[in-house]
């Protein structure tokens, strides 16, 4: 999936996405805010524990500070 999105988001191979965050509204309605966001990072930085920790903190902050039902 990442390779497919990277190919779409890469503009003539001059811009490469380092990460993207998706919000699954259906999962949010069924399960609440937990597991409603998915973060995908570039393979070169996605295995770094510090980056993973910072991304998890970012997602937790978004869930706590923003009303996810207003995202649509």
Residue 53, pLDDT score = 92
Q: Are 40 and 9 in contact (CB under 8 A)?
A: no
Q: Which of 44, 50, 32, 52 is nearest to 2 (CA)?
A: 44
pLDDT, tens digit (0-9, with 9 covering 90-100), for 1-60: 556 766 666 666 677 778 888 888 888 888 887 778 888 888 888 888 998 899 889 888
Residue 11, pLDDT score = 63
pTM for this predicted structure: 0.65
């Amino acid at each position: 999936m990442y390779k497919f999105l990277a190919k779409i988001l890469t503009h003539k191979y001059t811009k490469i996405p380092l990460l993207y965050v998706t919000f699954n509204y259906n999962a949010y309605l069924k399960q609440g805010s937990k597991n409603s966001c998915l973060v995908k990072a570039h393979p070169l930085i996605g295995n770094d524990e510090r980056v993973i920790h910072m991304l998890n903190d970012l997602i937790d902050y978004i869930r706590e500070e923003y009303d996810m039902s207003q995202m649509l």
